[in-house]
Chain A
Amino acid sequence: MNEGQLDNQTMTAPGPATAREILARAEALQRTMDVAFRDKIVESIYTDAEAITSRVVRQQGSRYAHLDQRIDRIVTSKVWGLPLMFVLLAGVFWVTIVGANYPSALLASFLFWVEDHGAALFAGAGLPWWVTGFLWHGVYRGLAWVVSVMLPPMAIFFPIFTILEDLGYLPRVAFNIDHLFKKAGAHGKQALTMSMGLGCNAAGVIACRIIDSPRERLIAILTNNFMPCNGRWPTLIMLATLFVAAAFPPSLAAIAAAGSLVLIVVIGGLMTLLVSALLSRTVLKGEASSFTLELPPYRRPNVLRVLYTSIIDRTLFVLWRAVVMAAPSGGAIWLLSNLQVSGQSLTDWTSGWLNPAGHAVGLDGVILLAYIIAIPANEIVVPTILMAYTSAGRMVEIDNLAQLQHLLVGQHGWTLMTAISLMLFSLLHNPCSTTIWTVYQETKSTRWAVVSGLLPLAIAFLLLFILNQGIRVFGLI
């Protein structure tokens, strides 16, 4: 800044100047500034701040040089960095899936007990059957289902994840594998938003706020869906145990099932990188982009903050949105299965129409219908499929594996290929409406919200079509 010149001008200006004169003068002076004057302002701010710090803050040794540096050497080392990361992430998911089983079952039995009693109460009060059915077996049951499947894993996953975040470990993960993401035109922090997506895609999309570069942030938002969220895990686990495990000898069954789940996540990761590369080289080429990654010092997690951010900010927030979306969907499911036209329920009609499209991609009409109804919440895909297959009036669950196998394989002709197609479809298809709405909220753009929904759907259909038709043509199975 030409400070000297400015001082001279103000000092020698005769008499008080009018506002207009001051503005004109300011404009003229502004033209004389050289391009770097902003840098100089920032520099002078930092110089002042440094002067103040050196007067009032006393520092004893360099903390980083000791403990932090030693930890960093291990977690970012060539040998230990990546294995440590995989072990930690795998551990988090194992704890989440195993730990959520029991509370989920408990919560489900309680919520469905409430349903039975509520329905009995309504029936006892003499209300018509369709009021009871729609409200209790439709709206409430859909809601209860989503809550019982979704709440326990999120209540376990989010706090653990927040602890890792609070520790300062997660930015090191981004640091370790940034190179991979750079090649795809994305940001290393996308690894974190992807991990978050494994818990819930809507939360993953919100987490993309940590990426400060507009282009990379948009990429991370649009591709988050390729990480299977916990609403999709039950479907994937069911298929892995029922079909993949069955294709191997009993001694290898458990490993095969777990391996197929890992494979699904790996395919999701590859798709994320592929689509990221595609987006950054085409439609998002011109968006602003920059990379800086702060590696904060390690610190002890603050328990209260962890609980607050994970429970209030993430779990309840996501749950509330899902509940708002799931309730109408539960109602729609009940109507579809209970309204009859010419002696057939609407479910049968629509799944009949969808059959040709379903068969083309290795699925069937019922599965496609379930995915359409389950746009608000992926948790209810399998219950809806079972409802349609058994012609029940409401969503059902079958705990007995043999019975389930008999229904799917024996009565409805599912093969290993159906299971593989369904696993891939579950991984790649459009995100739930909560996530799409979140994309809109985060980007404030209808266009990106639509793209985030249609792009994965198109990819899923295209890939499955090629896969199934290819196999049919070449007669591989």
Chain B
Amino acid sequence: MVIWIVILVLVLVLLWPDRGLYVRWQRRRRLLSRQAIEDALMHLHQRQHERRLASVESVASMLRIGTNDALGLVQRMEAQGLLTATGDGLRLSPDGYHWALQVVRAHRLFERYLADETEVPMEEIHARAHRLEHTLSVADLDRMDAALGHPAFDPQGDPIPTSTGEIPAMTGCSLVDWETARPAQIVHIEDEPPEVYAQIVAAGLGLGMVVTVVEATSTRLVVEADAVEHVLAPVVAANIWVHEAPQAAPGRPVERLTTLTVGEQGRVTALDPMCQGLTRRRFLDLGITPGVLIEPVMQSAFGEPTAYRVRGALIALRREQSDWIWIEAKGKEQ
């Protein structure tokens, strides 16, 4: 009797539809093979981008699998019409190219999501997106794209392909090639290799920031951003892409909201481009938009937060939040 119950329970656990161990194992296997195929597609796509050809060996070393497994994988993909093998190497077929673009899209959409809507540190975003990019169907991706407001670029400034596979053009040149003393806006930051990317993040440089090259030699670049000077190695600066900065009104004093003291008044000029997602939406909800008057009214006994009067309401912000808000000081209230 007891034995039969145990067997029944075991069978149920194994074969339960949707949640049974067997179904889970199958799904995991499928995911693994999908991940392998997609990683291989990405590798081929990357190589093609660099105008080089991939080979079974390069796939094997990229995916960290044995050459035999890689050969099996390549043959499977060839049978599915995803790639063609010629004497000199592997090429993506049109189908394979389309699929690869969807993976690129998934990766960059996830990066956008993680950067805007979560607090995952910038240097971890790439690795997380790489794990997540294989989990969604194209229909799910379309929904995610819509929910994020159809972003055109990922947080590093790489263009996100559309659902039909179009890639918006990317402009700009490397910071190393930019002339000195001419303001430039950062449009793209290369996130590979991670060590270099981490240095850029640590320096506080981000997309949308306006920088000026102060001094450029063969060994170092001195860059000014937000009145702070950064010294970068050329190999680091080469990973930052810039274009012409939008003409800021010359001579206009630009300060952060944090610099205002109680009794002074300021006019909001902009929300920092680095401030995205939840915080930015909250600011907009509360009516903190460019052009609005803002005035610190009181400070908490511990020095933080500070309460600001804006549009007749009293809103307290911590230092981090008020640092995102750029203002033009108006002096004492009349």
Residues of chain A touching chain B, judged by Cβ–Cβ distance below 8 Å, are 27, 30-31, 35-36, 38-39, 42-43, 46, 64, 69, 72-73, 76-78, 81-82, 175-180, 182, 188, 212-215, 285-297
- Interchain nearest-CB distance for A39 vs B (Å): 7
| 10 intermolecular pairs with C-beta atoms under 8 Å apart | A38-B284, A46-B289, A64-B312, A182-B304, A286-B119, A288-B118, A290-B282, A291-B305, A291-B321, A292-B286
Binary per-residue interface labels of chain B (286-302) against chain A in the complex, 1 for a CB within 8 Å, 0 otherwise = 11011110000110111
Which 9 residue pairs across A and B have the least CB separation, nearest first?
Answer: A179-B302, A293-B316, A295-B314, A290-B279, A286-B120, A78-B301, A42-B284, A43-B289, A290-B278
Q: Are B119 and A294 in contact (CB under 8 A)?
A: no
Known: A38-B149, A178-B305. A294 touches B298 (CB 8 A): no
Residues of B contacting A36 with CB < 8 Å? Answer: 273
- Interchain nearest-CB distance for A209 vs B (Å): 16
A36 to B302, CA, bound (A): 35
Q: Are B119 and A76 in contact (CB under 8 A)?
A: no
Residues of A contacting B150 with CB < 8 Å? Answer: 30-31
Binary per-residue interface labels of chain B (259-283) against chain A in the complex, 1 for a CB within 8 Å, 0 otherwise = 0000000000001010001111011
Q: Which of B301-324 touch A at CB < 8 Å?
A: 301-305, 307, 309, 311-318, 320-321
**Residue on B nearest A285 in the bound complex, by CB:** B119
Q: Which of B110-147 touch A at CB < 8 Å?
A: 114, 117-120
Q: Are A292 and B316 in contact (CB under 8 A)?
A: yes
- Interchain nearest-CB distance for B323 vs A (Å): 12
Q: Are B279 and A175 in contact (CB under 8 A)?
A: no
**Residue on B nearest A286 in the bound complex, by CB:** B120
A285 to B118, CA, bound (A): 9
Apart from the given pairs A179-B303, A293-B316, 7 other A-B contacts in the complex at a CB distance below 8 Å: A27-B162, A64-B309, A81-B301, A178-B305, A178-B318, A180-B302, A293-B315
| Number of interchain pairs (Cβ within 8 Å) | 114
Q: Are B290 and A35 in contact (CB under 8 A)?
A: no
Q: Are A175 and B313 in contact (CB under 8 A)?
A: no
Residues of A contacting B287 with CB < 8 Å? Answer: 46
Kindly identify which residue among A215, A289, A291 contacts B317, using a CB–CB cutoff of 8 Å: A291
- Interchain nearest-CB distance for B263 vs A (Å): 12
A205 to B273, CA, bound (A): 35
**Residue on A nearest B312 in the bound complex, by CB:** A64
Q: Are A76 and B301 in contact (CB under 8 A)?
A: yes
A73 to B153, CA, bound (A): 47
Known: A212-B282, A288-B278, A289-B278. A175 touches B307 (CB 8 A): yes
Residues of B contacting A188 with CB < 8 Å? Answer: 305
**Residue on A nearest B290 in the bound complex, by CB:** A43
- Interchain nearest-CB distance for B106 vs A (Å): 19
B81 close to A (CB within 8 Å): no
Kindly identify which residue among A27, A42, A77, A294 contacts B314, using a CB–CB cutoff of 8 Å: A294
Known: A31-B168, A293-B305. A178 touches B316 (CB 8 A): yes
Q: Are A294 and B313 in contact (CB under 8 A)?
A: yes
**Residue on A nearest B321 in the bound complex, by CB:** A291
A137 to B153, CA, bound (A): 68
Kindly identify which residue among B208, B291, B304, B311 contacts A43, using a CB–CB cutoff of 8 Å: B291
B152 close to A (CB within 8 Å): yes
Q: Are B168 and A76 in contact (CB under 8 A)?
A: no
Residues of B contacting A176 with CB < 8 Å? Answer: 300-301
A401 to B179, CA, bound (A): 87
- Interchain nearest-CB distance for B127 vs A (Å): 12
Residues of B contacting A38 with CB < 8 Å? Answer: 149, 284
A39 to B297, CA, bound (A): 26
A43 to B162, CA, bound (A): 28
**Residue on B nearest A215 in the bound complex, by CB:** B119
Q: Are A287 and B168 in contact (CB under 8 A)?
A: no
Residues of A contacting B289 with CB < 8 Å? Answer: 39, 42-43, 46
Residues of A contacting B300 with CB < 8 Å? Answer: 76, 175-176, 178-179
Kindly identify which residue among A182, A287, A296 contacts B118, using a CB–CB cutoff of 8 Å: A287
Q: Are B304 and A179 in contact (CB under 8 A)?
A: yes
A30 to B297, CA, bound (A): 40
Kindly identify which residue among A30, A292, A296 contacts B282, using a CB–CB cutoff of 8 Å: A292
Q: Are A287 and B119 in contact (CB under 8 A)?
A: yes
Residues of A contacting B318 with CB < 8 Å? Answer: 178, 182, 291
A125 to B186, CA, bound (A): 88
- Interchain nearest-CB distance for A262 vs B (Å): 22
A267 to B219, CA, bound (A): 56
Residues of B contacting A82 with CB < 8 Å? Answer: 301
**Residue on B nearest A183 in the bound complex, by CB:** B302
Q: Which of B139-172 touch A at CB < 8 Å?
A: 149-150, 152-153, 162, 168
A180 to B318, CA, bound (A): 12
Residues of B contacting A293 with CB < 8 Å? Answer: 305, 315-317
Residues of A contacting B290 with CB < 8 Å? Answer: 39, 43
Q: Are B315 and A286 in contact (CB under 8 A)?
A: no
Known: A72-B298, A178-B304, A295-B316. A35 touches B273 (CB 8 A): yes
A38 to B120, CA, bound (A): 24
Q: Are A292 and B317 in contact (CB under 8 A)?
A: yes
- Interchain nearest-CB distance for B274 vs A (Å): 12
Residues of A contacting B283 with CB < 8 Å? Answer: 292
- Interchain nearest-CB distance for B3 vs A (Å): 27
Residues of B contacting A285 with CB < 8 Å? Answer: 119-120
A212 to B312, CA, bound (A): 21
- Interchain nearest-CB distance for A446 vs B (Å): 14
Residues of B contacting A42 with CB < 8 Å? Answer: 284, 289
- Interchain nearest-CB distance for B332 vs A (Å): 15
Residues of B contacting A179 with CB < 8 Å? Answer: 300, 302-305
Residues of B contacting A288 with CB < 8 Å? Answer: 117-119, 277-278
Residues of A contacting B117 with CB < 8 Å? Answer: 288
Q: Which of B73-123 touch A at CB < 8 Å?
A: 114, 117-120
**Residue on A nearest B277 in the bound complex, by CB:** A288
